């Protein structure tokens, strides 16, 4: 099993299986770029025609991570200043939307918003927090906000 390089052409072939017939073991091998050209060869035929070229181990690389910090997102009613509360669950659109209603019983403001909902604890970058506060946040442009629980947020703040 594995990858082989043809001695004459330098093309790579892949061996993915074998079967036995009349006490002879046959290996299924085909060119990497054309899986319809399968050959069934014995071990001796493979060794005569190909060099075994196993895939090298993957390169391990570490990358720095953008620092995130916990925040609580609280949406305010633009008409009376009260906190907006999420009503019900998510509306199945793409992206998901959440219906928000004003917590002031005398105000009838309501709106559907995607991604961010009032009372949400989240991990964000400084740039994401700025775009949320400026009202320019877009998941497609600014990246995904990572939602966390209140308990996770308080543990992160204590560190």
User: What's the pLDDT at 3?
Assistant: 92
pTM metric for this prediction = 0.52
Domain boundaries, the chain: 2-52, 69-158
How many whole angstroms separate alpha carbon 88 and alpha carbon 111? Answer: 13
Confidence of residue 159 (pLDDT cuts 50, 70, 90): low
CB neighbour list of residue 139: distance below 8 Å, 6 or more residues apart: 95, 114, 115, 145
Instruction: Give the 3-state secondary structure of residue 47.
Output: helix
Is the pLDDT confidence value at 116 over 90?
no
Confidence of residue 117 (pLDDT cuts 50, 70, 90): confident
pLDDT in tens, 48-101: 999 999 988 989 998 888 889 999 988 899 999 999 998 888 888 887 888 999
The owner of tokens 């964000």 is: 124
Asked if pLDDT for residue 132 goes beyond 60, the answer is yes
């Amino acid at each position: 099993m594995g990858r082989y390089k043809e001695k004459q052409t330098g093309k790579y072939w892949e061996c993915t299986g074998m079967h036995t017939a009349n006490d002879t073991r046959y290996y299924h091998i085909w060119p990497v770029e054309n899986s319809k050209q399968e050959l069934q060869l014995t071990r001796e035929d493979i060794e005569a025609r190909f060099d075994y070229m196993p895939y090298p181990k993957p390169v391990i690389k570490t990358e720095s991570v953008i620092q995130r910090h916990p925040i609580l997102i609280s949406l305010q009613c633009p008409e009376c200043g009260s906190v907006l509360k999420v009503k019900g669950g998510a509306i199945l659109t793409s992206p998901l939307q959440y219906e928000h209603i004003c917590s002031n019983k005398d105000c009838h403001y309501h709106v559907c918003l995607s991604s961010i909902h009032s009372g949400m604890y989240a991990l964000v970058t400084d740039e994401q927090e700025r775009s949320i506060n400026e009202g320019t946040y877009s998941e497609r442009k600014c990246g995904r906000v990572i939602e966390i629980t209140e308990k996770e947020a308080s543990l992160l703040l204590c560190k």
